[in-house]
Chains A and B, each alone.
Chain A
């Protein structure tokens, strides 16, 4: 047995023991008043778990670097010639390693939480116990169901099977960590929410404490999802970025409920409303994160991400059922604690816009869940697996997304409680004129919505996206004017001050602007074109304004893979503007092929070339070309969303104080007080 395997196995057991102690001692300390010393040992045991799990993860990566193929995981996911960056990626490239990575991230989040316990020791102690219970589950899995340090039986092969070729792409080094940081991170707001419910925590301070955690987690999940989309676009070679694959859906579902939570939680903070709804939203988000990990790791549904068929599915089902039962139990016990302090006063108000936004996000989530689970459900009912494809998801989710866009435009301009028609007119006139102008211009430039449903949706999407952009701009300009009128600064300086004074609100608007860019990118999909052709030397292919000319083919070989690529000249209006090199690789260790797309990307369109291999009958290379308009807007939108999220995380520079004659007198309440 290798030393790495022995020590790694031991520290995993130690981590389980420490987590178990952290959970049990913490629980006893909470139940027995005066056991603060025991509670402190529980907190420290939770911190020590991070050390043990981090050591286990470091040992597994070390084993990858040392090519220790006596460890089965390293044998199956690495090889001697694997580049250094991908040796790190070995940690999350297979089932056992990625569960260890989940555990590592959870222990890291738990470490930060336990170090910051002085903020509110009792609330943090409750949250710490809940996190320890989740940690126990993952460490049980690692120790007894998916051991990353399991030893190869019999003779040890001289080289490993190599990392899955689809994962040997720079984004795959950061896409899974981002996604996992998102999945795992939702454990923290879940733990605080459940803790607040268990201890009947008065007030909404737990939301303020977890606000940054939730936003950071949501930001990671957003980036993770779009890195996955970018990877799919550049590696899978089918010309698209989102295929409604079950594992893509698994990451989208907690994102949808998490987005709903980020919005509706403002109603609880501002007006003490929707407490039950918010509690269940964060419970659902956590359960969907676990469900996502279950889908990715259990292999219950077919997917391009079908990493493994294994028995760990049962463990996840039991854990999800237990978690759900605990949530229901405490909800039933303490539901009186979650009474709303106000009722909805008008359908035309900020509250109702948040409510509709939440309902739409939940409809979208349920649609995705239904479509994802449909093969399993149909097999149970009919005995045959029926898979639903993109048309099902699009039919429901595109109209939902359009309504969400409308609410994104309308919501920020509505007042809390009630908004009159007069106020509506004041706020919407110019943005609405702007959006209608965009729609007219699109029709004038040849988009005919009556000819094709996809054109109609595209026109609606871009018009509504414009409406959001104009309302966001009007919010900045109006607020900036108030600041500049008080300070004498320029409008631009006023807008900058505005953003610094209320980072959460204006960061949120920047996130909305990022969403605008992304949906414009999605709308471009209605105008996609593609063509496939066998191309010999000098053959030409016309696609849109471009003429592709095949100049040559080359072959290459290195220790990790062999490759074939085409050399394609790109001409526009008779002028050579670029040369592209679509490539196809075959990795030696796994003998699996992979596509390296050649993409000439601009804000107007992507010219996307795929070398599909040779026709087995004619021996001639096949080139597939796609012309995908506006795709770059999606990636630009993600950057804008990221900037907005980071801005929203920065504390306000100064409190927003505008001189106002606010006079509040105590009112007389209840006789006998």
Chain B
């Protein structure tokens, strides 16, 4: 009885691991572009927080302007790099043999 129970447990585990129907999901390697999109969202979130806190009366006007300017500068840099990477990707697609046929 003990041997039977142990055999059933082992066979069940092996069947699940090696034979049960499966769909293999492969992940894609995360690109710098995807990372920059995340950073952009984070900076936009920071801008929204800053604006909300300013409306709540937490900052003096010069503080608010200065903080907002630096966040906008950061967002601008990220957007610029996103645009550069997207242009480079588009150019690469155009120059590839597949793209050349169009």
A-B interaction: yes
Given A122-B27, A204-B42, A478-B58: A418 and B63 interface contact (C-beta under 8 Å): yes
Using CB atoms, name the residue of chain B closest to A125.
Answer: B27
B67 at the interface (CB under 8 A from A): yes
Using CB atoms, name the residue of chain A closest to B10.
Answer: A14
Using CB atoms, name the residue of chain B closest to A413.
Answer: B58
Using CB atoms, name the residue of chain B closest to A208.
Answer: B38
User: How far, in angstroms, from A11 to B70 measured CA to CA in the complex?
Assistant: 59
Contacts of B59 in A (CB 8 A): 415, 423, 426
Q: Is the CB of A3 within 8 A of B57?
A: no
Using CB atoms, name the residue of chain A closest to B40.
Answer: A664
User: How far, in angstroms, from A662 to B47 measured CA to CA in the complex?
Assistant: 8
Contacts of B68 in A (CB 8 A): 662
Within 8 A of A (CB), among B65-102: 66-68, 70, 72-73, 75-77, 79-84
Q: Is the CB of B6 within 8 A of A7?
A: yes
Residue of B16, B32, B56 touching A48 (CB-CB under 8 A) = B16
Write out, one digit per residue, whether chain A residues 639-655 have a CB within 8 A of any chain B CB (1) or not (0).
00000000000000001
Contacts of B52 in A (CB 8 A): 479, 482, 656, 658
User: How far, in angstroms, from A587 to B79 measured CA to CA in the complex?
Assistant: 71
Write out, one digit per residue, whether chain A residues 409-422 have a CB within 8 A of any chain B CB (1) or not (0).
00001011111101
Within 8 A of B (CB), among A21-62: 21, 36-37, 39-41, 44-45, 47-48, 51-52, 55
A564 at the interface (CB under 8 A from B): no
Q: Is the CB of B27 within 8 A of A478?
A: no
Q: Is the CB of B25 within 8 A of A121?
A: yes
Residue of B30, B63, B77 touching A203 (CB-CB under 8 A) = B30
Write out, one digit per residue, whether chain A residues 464-506 have a CB within 8 A of any chain B CB (1) or not (0).
0000000000000011011000000000000000000000000
Within 8 A of A (CB), among B21-58: 22, 24-27, 29-32, 34-35, 38-39, 42, 44-53, 55-58
Q: Is the CB of A658 within 8 A of B48?
A: yes
Q: Is the CB of B42 within 8 A of A270?
A: yes
A269 at the interface (CB under 8 A from B): yes
Main secondary structure of the interface of A (DSSP, over half): helix
A18 at the interface (CB under 8 A from B): yes
- The interface size of chain A toward B, counting residues with CB under 8 Å, comes to 65
Q: Is the CB of A664 within 8 A of B67?
A: no
A155 at the interface (CB under 8 A from B): no
Residue of A55, A269, A415 touching B58 (CB-CB under 8 A) = A415
Q: Is the CB of B34 within 8 A of A202?
A: yes
User: How far, in angstroms, from A373 to B83 measured CA to CA in the complex?
Assistant: 56
Q: Is the CB of A7 within 8 A of B5?
A: yes
Contacts of B50 in A (CB 8 A): 415-416
Q: Is the CB of B80 within 8 A of A667?
A: yes
Given A121-B27, A426-B60, A478-B56: A52 and B35 interface contact (C-beta under 8 Å): no
Q: Is the CB of B9 within 8 A of A11?
A: yes
Using CB atoms, name the residue of chain B closest to A480.
Answer: B56
Contacts of B6 in A (CB 8 A): 6-7, 10-11, 14
Q: Is the CB of B76 within 8 A of A660?
A: no
Q: Is the CB of A658 within 8 A of B51?
A: yes
**A and B contact pairs by CB, cutoff 8 A, 28 listed:** A7-B5, A7-B9, A10-B2, A18-B13, A18-B17, A39-B24, A55-B9, A120-B27, A122-B29, A202-B32, A203-B39, A205-B30, A269-B42, A270-B45, A415-B63, A419-B63, A420-B63, A427-B58, A478-B57, A478-B58, A479-B52, A479-B56, A482-B56, A656-B52, A658-B55, A664-B75, A666-B80, A667-B76
Give me the interface of B with A, judged by CB distance under 8 Å: 1-2, 5-6, 9-10, 13, 16-18, 20, 22, 24-27, 29-32, 34-35, 38-39, 42, 44-53, 55-60, 62-63, 66-68, 70, 72-73, 75-77, 79-84
Known: A18-B13, A41-B17, A201-B30. 12 other contacts (CB 8 A): A7-B6, A10-B6, A48-B13, A122-B30, A426-B58, A478-B56, A655-B48, A658-B52, A662-B51, A665-B79, A667-B73, A669-B81
Q: Which 10 A-B pairs have the closest CB atoms?
A: A121-B27, A478-B56, A122-B27, A660-B51, A667-B76, A202-B35, A203-B35, A666-B79, A422-B60, A666-B80
